[in-house]
Amino acid sequence: MTVQLERAITEQAWTNPRFRELLRTDPKEALAELGVEVPDGIEVDVRIQERNTLYYLIPPLRGDAPARGGVNQIDLWRSADMFCWILPEKLKVSLLAMRRAFREHSEVRDDA
C-alpha cells in the first residue's frame, strides 16, 4: 500500500521531533527529506494545529482592488481527516506533481 504524502508528513510530525521542528522552520527542507522538491517560486507555510487555536485564512486580493462577493481563488484539499492544503487554484498542478514525486520516491524506497 502506498502512503500518501499528507499522511507521511503528519506521521513524521507526530513521531519525529526533529522533523516537526524542521516543518516549522524550513518546510521545503522537510519535504525534501521525503523526496519532494518544491518548485521555484512556491512558498510553503506549515501550521501545526493546536487544540486551543482558531485559524483564519485571509485570501489574496484579486488584482488591485478588494474582491466583491465570493472569492474563488483558494482551494481546500483534504486527505482523510488528517491534513488540509489551502492553496491558490493555480498551484493545484504543482501540488499534484509534489504528491506524485513523493509516491515515486516511496515506491523506490519500498523496492530497495
- Checking if the pLDDT of 68 tops 90, the result is no
* 3 to 8, 11, 26, 78, 99: CA distances (angstroms): 7, 10, 22, 15, 10
pLDDT tens, position by position, 71-110:
455 566 666 666 777 777 778 888 889 989 998 998 877 6
Distance CA 24, CA 10 (A): 13
pLDDT of residue 54: 87
- Checking if the pLDDT of 55 tops 90, the result is no
Confidence bin at 64 (pLDDT 50/70/90): low
What's the start-to-end Cα distance of the chain, in Å? 15
Residue 41 main-chain phi, psi, to 5 deg: 85, -5
**Span 44-58, average pLDDT:** 87
